[in-house]
Chains A and B, each alone.
Chain A
Amino acid sequence: MHSVDPVFLLRQMLRARALEETAAQEYAAGRIAGFLHLYPGEEAVAAGVLSCAEPGDYIVSTYREHVHALLRGIPAAAIFAELLGKKTGVSGGMGGSMHLFDAERRFLGGYAIVGETFPIALGAGYAVAYRQLPEAVICFFGDGAVNQGTFHESLNMAALWRLPILFVCENNHYQIGTEIHRHSAVVEVYRRACAYNIPAERINGMDVLAVQQASEQALARIRAGDGPQFLELETYRYRGHSMADPGAYRPASEVQAYQRQDPIKELEGELSTQANCPAGDCVRQFQEQCCAAGHLNSERLQRLQDEIAEEMRIALAEAQAAAAPNLTKVQEVFQKNHRFEDFFGRGAA
C-alpha cells in the first residue's frame, strides 16, 4: 500500500494548476497556436490516480492530457516545448498539445479522437496479460466518450479476457458544450460498467484523498488478477472546453459553485487542519476558520508555491529557447521504421 502524503498530492495539484495557467498565458500571448484544452478544476483526479501508478504501468490519455503527462513525470519543459512546437518537445514537435507521447515513461499518448483511448488501452492490456506481467494500464476518458462505440466494444473485450485495465472516467459533466443530461440517457456513468460485469464506483473527483484511495484499491484488485476496474470521478473544468470556447452554454453561477469546492483549496484546508482536528464535519468548519484566521501554515504553502512558480518559469524559458524541428527531422521520423529491405537478410532491389 502507498502511504498517503497529502503534501505530495497538494504539490502535484499546484504544479498541475501552474502548468496550465502558464500555458493559458502563452496562448493568450499568441505563442501557443492550435487547440489548447486545459485542466484546471480536475487536478484531484490526475493527482489522486497517478500517485498510485507504478513505473511499470501504462497511461493512455485524451487531448486534455498535459497534466496527466506532468504528473507521470514528464518534465514541464518538454511539455511546454511540445505546446510551442519545438524540437525538444516530448513528441519532437510532431504531436502538439493533444499528442504528448513518452515511451520511456510508458505514457502511450494523448488522443484527439474521442473514444480512442479505449482500444489503445485494450491493446496495451492485452500485451501485458499476454506477457503475464504484473503491470496495469490506466485509461483516462471523459463523460462524452462513453457514448462512442469503442467504449462498449472495448469494455466488453477487457472484461471477457480479464485484462488489467483501470478505466477512469473524468466526468466533468460536459462534452464540449453539451451537459450530461442532454447527451446521456444514464447520467451515472459508472452504472454502464455493470453491463460488462466490471466493478465500478462513483467517487467525488474534487476530493483528492478519496480519488487516491479508490484508485489504490482498484489497482490492487487489478494486480491481484481481478480484471478490469472502473472509476467514475465527478469533477468540473473551470475553463472552457478549449481556449477557443467562450463557455456560453453554462451559467456563471455553476462555474462559481464548483470553484468554491476547488480541489486544491479543499486539500490545503485539510492539510492545515489534520494535525489538530479530529475527522468529521468539524474538520471542514475548522478548516474554513483557519483559512479565515490565517492559520493555514501559510509559510509552508507559500514556499511550495514559490518553488512551483520557479519550476514553471525555468521550464517555459527553456522551451522558448529551444529550436524548431525541421523537415529533415520530419522525414527521419517518418522513415524511421522503413527497414523492410533487411528482412531475410537482403538489400533493396
Chain B
Amino acid sequence: MTEMLYWQALNRALDEEMAQDEKVFLLGEDVGLYGGTYRVSEGLLAKYGEWRVRDTPISENSFTGLGVGAAMLGLRPVVEIMTINFALLALDALINMAAKIPFMSGGQFSMGLTVRMPSGVAKQLGAQHSQRLEHTLMNVPGLRILVPATPQDAYWQLRQAIRSDDPIIVLEHELLYFHKGEVATNATPLPIHAAVVRRPGRDLTCIAYSRMVEVALAAAEELAREGIEMEVIDLRSLSPIDWEPCIQSVGRTHRALVLEEDCRFAGAGAEIVATLQERCFYFLDRPIQRTAGLDLPTPFAAELEAATIPNVERTCRSARDLVKMSGAPL
C-alpha cells in the first residue's frame, strides 16, 4: 500500500506496462520532453526513448489515427489527448476507425488502443475547455469508457486498459490529478468494468462516477448527520455499465439518485435512469431523480461556473427530497 496522487498512479501504471511489454508506447502533445501537461508521463521519455514516448504535432485526428493503425499491426499505443475538448478533432479516428475496424474486418484486426484524456469541468477554463462529452462516446458501440475516481482505480484500470484488445477510452478528471489516495500495487484488482459500493446506506442509492463520487461521499457524510443513510455506488465504467450492483442496491433502498457532472439533457445519467427504471421499476418507491450539470456552456466567472455543476449542497437537497417524498403522493 503506497499513498500516491492520481497522476502518480497513472504514471506508475504506464511505467510498469511499458517495462513489461515492448509493444506499449505513448504518443500525444507534450507527453515527452514536457512530461505531460498533468505530469502523467513524467520521466518516461528519459527511460524509454523517443520511439516509445513520442511528442506529436497538434494534429489530434491523425495522431489518434496513428494509434489505430499501429494497433492494427499489434502494438499497444497509449494516446494522450491533452483534454477531452480536443478529442472532438479526433472523433473520426475514435468513432469511424477505432470503434469500427475490429467489427468491419470480421474480427480480423484487434484494437489494443488506449486513449487517455482529462475531462470534466476544472477551474475557470472557459466553455471550450470545460466540457463533459461522455454521452457522445457512450453512444458508440465498440468503444469502452473507463472513469476512474481514485488513484487506486486510475492505476489498475489504466493497466487493464493497456492490456485489453479493445479500444478503451480512459476519462480522467482534471480536478482529480492532484488528489491523494492509497494504491495497492500488489493487490488483486477489481474487474475492469465492475461498479462498486463506496459507502453502504439503507435509505437511498446514489449512483455516481468520476469526480462526482467524491461529491456523493461528502453528501452522504452530511446526510448521515441528519439520519439519512445514502448508499454510494461508483460506476467506474460508463461502457459497459455494470448494472448488477446498482439493481441490487436499489432493490434494498427503493430510491435512486443519479449524480453526474454531464449536462442533464441526453447526458450519461439519461441512460442510467432509463435502464434502471426498466430493470427496477417494481422496487421503486419514487421516480429516479437526476442531479446533473445545467444545460449550458460552462461560464467563466467562478460563481456562475460553480452554479452549473452539482455540488454537495445540491446533492443533499435532492437526496432529502427523495427520502421525504417517500410514501407521499406524487
Contacts and interface: CB of A to CB of B under 8 A. Distances in A.
Interface of A: 58, 60, 89-95, 99, 101-103, 108-109, 111, 113, 116, 118-130, 149-150, 153-154, 156-157, 160-161, 332-334, 336-341, 343-344, 346, 348-349
The 3 closest A-B CB pairs, nearest first, are: A123-B69, A119-B65, A92-B106
A108 B108 CA distance: 10
B102 interface: yes
Query: Of B25, B97, B190, which is in contact with the most chain A CB atoms at under 10 Å from its CB?
Result: B97
Contact of B106 (A94, A125, A129, A149): A94
B27 to A, nearest CB: 8
Interface string B93-111: 1001100011111111111
A95 B73 contact: no
Contacts of B69: 60, 108, 119-127
Interface string B39-74: 000000000000100101101011111111111111
Contacts of A154: 59, 62, 65-66
26 contacts: A89-B106, A90-B106, A91-B106, A94-B105, A109-B101, A111-B97, A113-B96, A116-B96, A119-B66, A120-B72, A122-B62, A122-B65, A123-B68, A123-B71, A124-B69, A124-B73, A126-B66, A127-B75, A157-B63, A160-B57, A333-B103, A340-B164, A341-B191, A343-B163, A346-B189, A346-B191
B104 A94 contact: yes
A94 B108 CA distance: 11
A336 B57 contact: no
B282 to A, nearest CB: 25
B72 A157 contact: no
Contacts of B218: none
Contact-residue size bin, chain B (C-beta under 8 Å from the other chain): 35 or more
B229 interface: no
A122 B193 contact: no
Contacts of B105: 91, 94-95, 99, 101, 103, 109
Given A119-B97, A124-B70, A343-B164, A349 B191 contact: yes
Contacts of B163: 340, 343
Contact of B107 (A121, A125, A336, A344): A336
Interface of B: 25, 51, 54, 56-57, 59, 61-75, 77, 92-93, 96-97, 101-111, 141-142, 159-160, 163-166, 188-194, 242
A94 B142 CA distance: 14
Given A116-B65, A119-B64, 16 more contacts: A91-B105, A113-B96, A119-B97, A127-B69, A127-B70, A128-B73, A130-B70, A130-B75, A333-B102, A333-B103, A333-B106, A334-B142, A343-B189, A344-B159, A344-B189, A349-B242
Contacts of B191: 340-341, 346, 348-349
B70 A156 contact: no
Contacts, number: 168
Contacts of B108: 91, 101-103
B193 A94 contact: no
B106 A157 contact: no
Contacts of B192: 340, 343
A150 B109 contact: no
Given A91-B104, A119-B93, A127-B73, A340 B109 contact: no
A257 B77 CA distance: 49
Given A58-B73, A130-B75, A343-B164, A157 B62 contact: yes
Contacts of B141: 334
Nearest to B25: A130
Given A126-B69, A130-B25, A92 B107 contact: yes
A58 B25 CA distance: 21
A119 B106 contact: no
B74 A130 contact: no
Nearest to B100: A99
A120 B65 contact: yes
Contacts of B164: 337, 339-340, 343
Query: Of A153, A338, A339, which is in contact with the most chain B CB atoms at under 10 Å from its CB?
Result: A153
A281 to B, nearest CB: 45
Contacts of B54: 161
A95 B62 contact: no
B97 A120 contact: yes
Given A119-B97, A123-B65, A157-B59, A93 B70 contact: no
B72 A334 contact: no
Nearest to B168: A340
A127 B189 CA distance: 31
Contacts of A95: 104-106
Given A340-B192, A349-B191, A116 B92 contact: yes
